[in-house]
Amino acid sequence: MTKQEAIDVILSDKAHYGTSLNYAINYCRAAKEMTGHELDVQILYILNNITSWRHPQAKEVRQVLRSKG
């Protein structure tokens, strides 16, 4: 899974938009247009805002977003 695919998983979880993904959604939408260092910084914001997110792929998504490269 790539970082962009991980962001897509977050965006696909519409059931949690109003709760655990409240702020992360806007960060994810912005990240879809980013690359390089700009994307890395945006991912830090996303990770900080999905700490209470529960989803079958949440653990994998967090690992991908934390990974280098």
Residue range 22-47: mean pLDDT, rounded: 96
- Relative orientation angle of helices 58-66 and 36-49, to the nearest 10 degrees: 140
pLDDT of residue 68: 86
Query: By the 8 A CB rule, do 46 and 10 touch?
Result: yes
Half-sphere exposure of residue 69: CA atoms within 13 angstroms, side-chain side: 1
pLDDT-derived band at 26, boundaries 50, 70, 90: very high
Per-position b or e across 39-59, b if 16+ CB within 10 A of its CB:
beebbebbeebbeebebeebe
What tens digit of pLDDT does each residue of 44-67 get?
A: 999 999 999 999 999 999 999 999
Average pLDDT rounded to a whole number, residues 19-46: 96
Please write the tens of the pLDDT for every residue from 37-49.
Answer: 999 999 999 999 9
Taking a C-beta distance cutoff of 8 angstroms, is the pair 41, 2 a contact? no
